[in-house]
Amino acid sequence: MLRITPVLFSALLIAAHFLRTGATGLALLCLVVPALLALRQTWAPTVVRVFLVLATLEWLRTLATNVSERQATGEPWLRMAVILGAVAAFTAMSAWVVRGRRGSA
């Protein structure tokens, strides 16, 4: 259970992100995908890994968009960039935790 904690936390973070943007369906999907690891199917870890890589890309897209918007308006952006960069890195590392073959994480 301890090994999948980063996966669950990453899923909660991206779900909260999508809830904030109004994408409730995507938020619910984000909460369901980690549960696939309980199936113990050979394809489940791959699906979860792909999900986490896509979540990382979404964080990086959000980072780039927010930095440009804040720079254009003259608002401070460095702290936000560090936080979103850390979240993206954590999500990417969570994908590394998920292993193939013998089950969950």
61-89: pLDDT as tens digits: 999 999 999 999 999 999 999 999 999 99
Nearest to 34 by CA among 8, 55, 59, 58: 8
**102 in any annotated domain:** no
CA torsion, ordered 60, 66, 69, 70, to nearest 10 deg = -130
Residue 75 domain boundaries: 2-97
Model-level pTM?
0.88
**85 in any annotated domain:** yes
Q: Looking at this protein, which amino acid is placed at residue 38?
A: A
Nearest to 93 by CA among 17, 6, 14: 6
**50 in any annotated domain:** yes
Amino acid 100: pLDDT = 56
Amino acid 9: pLDDT = 95
**33 in any annotated domain:** yes
**103 in any annotated domain:** no
Tokens 């999907």 belong to 29
Arithmetic mean of pLDDT, 41-64? 96
Domains held by the chain: number: 1
Burial 63-78 (b: 16+ CB within 10 A, else e): beeebeeeeeeeeebe
